[in-house]
């Protein structure tokens, strides 16, 4: 099973990605002041934690030849729901459960629309983007929800054994997802969902349920990312996640997961997330406005697809 | 593949007419319900307002309809409107030359559409990915260009485009009628229009029967950009101001109008008349929510549900596809 993660064709892409990452790192180290300080590097890892939680399950979704445009909006919704629950009841565990449930439920609806109603993934999740964004605005009445207790902030600001908690969570999330994809039967099904769905059906696997689980997983992870972001902002905000699905898709594309035939590579997504985290951080230090950063990442994504398309033309 | 997609207009029209009739009935039903629920609905001011709003939606949705007929999608419409409105707005403000603004808006829209078309046809990128990347590039450019500022206060001459009257009818509504007429003639009666249907129904057979698929695809995405540019002008003239996030919330309603109008995301099916009815229906719903004091926060939710229901019905409403 591990062999899949180390298949030569995929690993061959790593040097390219590592070279991009290294070039960006060296560029910023030379060009931006304070980039290489320990505090800043920790900061990059901290800021990447939310993105990683979205990009890992997005890799699963893309591997099934799907796409989830709704996770940014689902993150926002989970963020305001859990903020309201914690403010109303004071119970952190109840709030976290509510956030995760909302995320998983909306994700499952995505999966049902795609697997059973057969709506193309990008349209079903685009509709869900509207629904989740609308719900987030309705639940919060368009306002930030403040008064979050310190026990929630601990998720983002806390330290365990000297290490920042989000970084530990990041490592745990990656290891968990890696094991899920490469060491379990479910992971094999995910890989087969994009590669050969018919074979899966002929083998007697209920692929529709598997697809629903993949989207529910994406929703639940968005809910968890909502917890991290709420802790970081110290508030639930109904538009906090706007556009985050784009960074997640960009990280997946950067990591070498193909949008056709379901060729995915999870370690690549990790590198992609770090690249985007470094890019945002470095451009911030150079005081490039965030809108222009988004523009840069958009161009980067188009370039990756361009490269991919050209590679297909010349085998 | 469906056989009903043969691109002769008569074959397409018969079932289309039935579907159109159903949608018109829905429009009338919503209209009657709203006139009972709200006293303000039937006032001439409100009805004209509905038509003006529907016109704006139709401008965006008309080009998008062509894209959807070719089995594609354009997610960059809202961002195109944002960039076109901001560039044209600042140009008009700086030079007091409305015509320059018109040229800029249409050129920006056409240029963006051309790039989309090239990415989809020459590089064979899936349209929703190419236009999604484009969305963020355009939005980044617009936000950077405006840097948080707003342009406002245009000359009355330019503003006629948004709230002027000609022969007793609002100019945007007249423009909508004209666009509907020309567009319908183009799609139903011209060779190019029929080729667009053929590409959506089956790109391979279209290519084999001599349709220049790539050139037509570029044309379709360019037209979608140009109609977005035109929508930006009307928007600018009506609001009398522009800021960077002007187009952000416009893409979802445009897609919803096209899908309610009966165009199929799987290509080969759809008419501009249908999209016109779709735009009217969606505007009535949103206007009704306004009149019944249901907050604007509900709009993305309702639009999202409508998109999903429309595609679900398209898939399972008697025209089931393999």
Which long-range contacts (C-beta less than 8 Å, at least 24 apart) are formed by B9-12? Answer: B9/B188, B9/B189, B9/B194, B12/B197, B12/B269, B12/B271
- Counting one residue from A and one from B, how many pairs have CB atoms under 8 Å apart? 130
Q: Are A164 and A47 in contact (CB under 8 A)?
A: no
Q: Tell me, yes or no, whether B244 lies in a domain.
A: yes
**Confidence label for B5 from pLDDT (cuts 50, 70 and 90):** very low
Q: Report the domain count for chain A.
A: 1
Pick the residue from chain B with its C-alpha nearest to A69: B132
Q: Please give the Cα distance from A121 to A66 (Å, whole number).
A: 5
Question: Does residue B227 lie in a domain region?
Answer: yes
Judged against a pLDDT cut of 90, whether residue B185 lies above it is answered with yes
* Within-domain flag for B44: yes
**pLDDT tens-digit readout, B10-60:** 445 566 677 777 778 888 888 888 888 888 888 888 888 889 999 999 999
Chain B residues in contact with chain A using a Cβ-Cβ cutoff of 8 Å:
73, 75, 119, 123-126, 128-130, 132-137, 139-144, 147, 244, 252, 255, 265, 295, 297-305, 307-308, 311-312, 315-316
Residue B207, pLDDT > 70, answer yes
CA-nearest of B9, B8, B71, B321 to B204 is B71
Residue in chain B nearest A288 by alpha carbon: B144
Is A305 in CB contact (< 8 Å) with chain B? yes
Q: How far is B118 from chain A (nearest CA, A)?
A: 11
Q: Using a CB-CB distance cutoff of 8 angstroms, which residues of chain A are in contact with residue B132?
A: 69, 246, 249
Residue B219: CATH number of its domain? 1.10.3470
Is pLDDT at B320 greater than 50 in this prediction?
no
Q: What dihedral do alpha carbons A147, A152, A153, A156 form, nearest 10°?
A: -150
Domain of residue A263: give its range: 2-313
pLDDT of residue B2: 44
Assess A112–B contact: CB distance below 8 Å, yes or no.
no
Mean pLDDT (whole number) for A246-264: 83
Residue B298 covered by a domain: yes
Q: Is residue B3 in a domain?
A: no
Say what percent of chain A tops pLDDT 90. 45
Q: Which residue has the higher pLDDT, B299 or A219?
A: A219
> Domain holding A95: CATH number?
1.10.3470.10
Instruction: Answer yes or no: is B1 within a domain.
Output: no
pLDDT at B74 (0 to 100): 94
Kindly report the three-state secondary structure assignment for every residue of A24-66: HHHHHHHHCCCCCCHHHHHHHHHHHHHHHHHHHHHHHHHHCCC
Which tokens belong to B171? 């100019």
A275 touching B (Cβ < 8 Å): no
Cα–Cα distances in angstroms (integers) from residue A286 to residues A28, A36, A194, A291, B246, in the given order: 9, 13, 40, 14, 28
pLDDT at position B190, please? 94
What pTM value is reported for the model?
0.85
Give chain B's mean pLDDT. 86
Nearest-angstrom CA–CA distance, B322 and A105: 29
Does B3 score more than 50 pLDDT? no
Nearest to A181, CA basis, from A273, A56, A271: A56
- CB-based contact, A309 to chain B, within 8 Å: yes
Chain A: nearest CA to B321, how far in angstroms?
Answer: 10
A4 pLDDT higher than 60? no
* pLDDT single digits (tens) B226-246: 999 999 999 999 888 888 888
pLDDT of residue A3: 52
Q: What pLDDT shows up at residue A1?
A: 45
In which domain, by residue range, is B223 found?
A: 9-316
Mean residue pLDDT of chain A comes to 86
Q: Give the model confidence (pLDDT) of B293-317 as tens digits.
A: 887 888 889 889 988 888 887 777 6
Which pLDDT does position B266 carry in this prediction? Answer: 86
- Domain membership flag for residue B170: yes
Q: pLDDT tens for residues B129-165?
A: 889 889 888 988 998 898 888 888 888 888 888 888 8
> Is B321 or A141 the better-scoring residue by pLDDT?
A141
Q: Domain tally for chain B?
A: 1
C-beta atoms of A301 and B126 within 8 A = no
């Amino acid at each position: 099973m591990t062999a899949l993660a180390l298949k030569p064709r995929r690993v061959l892409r790593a040097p390219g990605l590592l070279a991009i990452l290294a070039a960006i790192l060296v560029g910023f180290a030379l060009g931006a002041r304070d980039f290489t300080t320990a505090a800043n590097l920790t900061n990059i890892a901290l800021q990447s934690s939310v993105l990683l939680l979205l990009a890992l399950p997005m890799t699963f979704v893309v591997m099934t030849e799907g796409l989830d445009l709704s996770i940014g909006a689902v993150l926002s919704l989970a963020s305001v729901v859990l903020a309201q629950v914690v403010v109303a009841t004071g119970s952190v565990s109840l709030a976290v459960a509510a956030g995760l449930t909302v995320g998983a439920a909306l994700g499952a609806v995505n999966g049902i629309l795609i697997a059973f109603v057969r709506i193309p993934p990008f349209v079903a999740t685009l509709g869900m983007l509207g629904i989740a964004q609308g719900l987030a605005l309705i639940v919060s009445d368009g306002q930030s929800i403040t008064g979050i207790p310190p026990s929630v902030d601990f998720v983002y600001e806390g330290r365990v054994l000297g290490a920042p908690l989000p970084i530990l969570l990041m490592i745990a999330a990656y290891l968990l997802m890696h094991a899920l994809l490469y060491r379990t039967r479910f992971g094999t099904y995910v890989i087969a969902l994009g590669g050969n769905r018919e074979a899966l059906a002929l083998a007697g696997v209920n692929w529709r349920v598997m697809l629903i689980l993949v989207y529910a997983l994406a929703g639940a992870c968005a809910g968890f990312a909502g917890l991290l972001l709420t802790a970081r902002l110290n508030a639930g905000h109904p538009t906090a996640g706007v556009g985050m699905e784009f960074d997640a898709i960009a990280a997946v594309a950067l990591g070498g997961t193909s949008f056709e035939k379901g060729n995915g590579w999870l370690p690549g997504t990790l590198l992609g997330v770090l690249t985007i985290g470094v890019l945002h951080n470095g451009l911030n230090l150079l005081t490039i406005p965030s809108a222009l950063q988004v523009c840069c990442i958009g161009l980067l994504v188009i370039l990756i697809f361009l490269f991919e398309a050209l590679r297909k033309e010349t085998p | 593949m469906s056989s009903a997609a043969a691109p002769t207009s008569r074959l397409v029209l018969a079932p289309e007419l039935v579907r159109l009739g159903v949608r018109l009935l829905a429009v009338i039903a919503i209209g009657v319900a709203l006139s009972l629920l709200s006293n303000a609905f039937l006032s001439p001011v409100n009805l004209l307002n509905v038509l003006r709003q529907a016109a704006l939606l139709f401008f965006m949705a008309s080009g998008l309809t062509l894209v959807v007929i070719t089995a594609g999608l354009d997610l960059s419409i809202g961002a195109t409107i944002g960039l076109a409105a901001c560039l044209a707005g600042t140009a008009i403000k700086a030079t007091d030359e409305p015509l320059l603004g018109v040229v800029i808006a249409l050129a920006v829209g056409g240029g963006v559409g051309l790039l989309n078309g090239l990415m989809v046809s020459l590089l064979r990128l899936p349209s929703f990915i190419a236009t999604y990347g484009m969305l963020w590039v355009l939005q980044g450019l617009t936000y950077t260009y405006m840097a948080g500022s707003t342009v406002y206060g245009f000359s009355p001459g330019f503003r006629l485009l948004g709230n002027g009257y000609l022969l007793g009818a609002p100019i945007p509504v007249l423009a909508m009628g004209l666009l509907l007429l020309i567009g319908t003639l183009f799609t139903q009666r011209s060779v190019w229009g029929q080729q667009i249907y053929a590409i959506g129904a089956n790109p391979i057979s279209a290519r084999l029967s001599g349709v220049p698929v790539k050139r037509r695809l570029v044309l379709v995405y360019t037209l979608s950009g140009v109609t977005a540019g035109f929508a930006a002008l009307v928007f600018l003239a009506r609001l009398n101001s522009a800021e960077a996030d002007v187009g952000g919330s416009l893409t979802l309603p445009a897609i919803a109008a096209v899908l309610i109008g009966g165009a199929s995301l799987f290509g080969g099916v759809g008419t501009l008349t249908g999209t016109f009815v779709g735009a009217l229906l969606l505007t009535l719903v949103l206007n009704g929510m306004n009149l019944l004091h249901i907050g604007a926060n509900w709009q993305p939710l309702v639009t999202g549900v409508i998109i999903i229901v429309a595609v679900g019905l398209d898939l399972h409403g008697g025209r089931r596809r393999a």
